Amino acid sequence: MILRPFGRTPRPSLDDRSFGTISMTSEGCWENRAFRFPGYEPVQLLVDGDEGGPTQAQRHFFDELSARYAELEPGIRQALSAYREDHPPQERFRLAAIYIPSFRDQHSRTWRLWYDLEGEEHFTYGVEMSDWDRIVPFAED
């Protein structure tokens, strides 16, 4: 018999060919806290889903995001700097997290990227995108 500490059930996890070792969060997302996004420090990866794991649509989206990120990044950094009303410090934003939606319907197609800002302890900045060219910056505390 295996005892569970404090009566908790272990979180479901799986090894995914695109996303690595991922675990289900209590919020219904698959998570990899140290995902290696090509060319960047490890980031948190969140993939909306159920016990079946990530879908082909989510893997396809991620492949496209990986291929297009270098061309998207300057526009994202510019939007974040404009949101903060900063002009040159675009390079101080560091990619921290990626959220991939379920893509089940039209309302679940918005994806998000979060950035840490060097020297900023209070806020995390991010962008919401539902297309490749529409960038909506935001801040969270």
Look up the pTM and report it.
Answer: 0.87
Closest by CA position to 46, among listed 6, 98, 84: 98
pLDDT confidence tier of residue 5, bands split at 50, 70 and 90? low
Q: Per-residue pLDDT tens for 39-81?
A: 888 999 999 998 899 999 999 999 999 999 999 999 999 899 8
Mean pLDDT estimate for the chain: 87
**Token pair recorded at residue 10:** 């272990």
Residue 1 has pLDDT above 80, yes or no: no
Tens digits of per-residue pLDDT, 103-126?
Answer: 887 667 899 999 998 877 788 899
In what helix (H) or strand (E) does residue 62 lie, and over which residues does it extend? helix 56-84
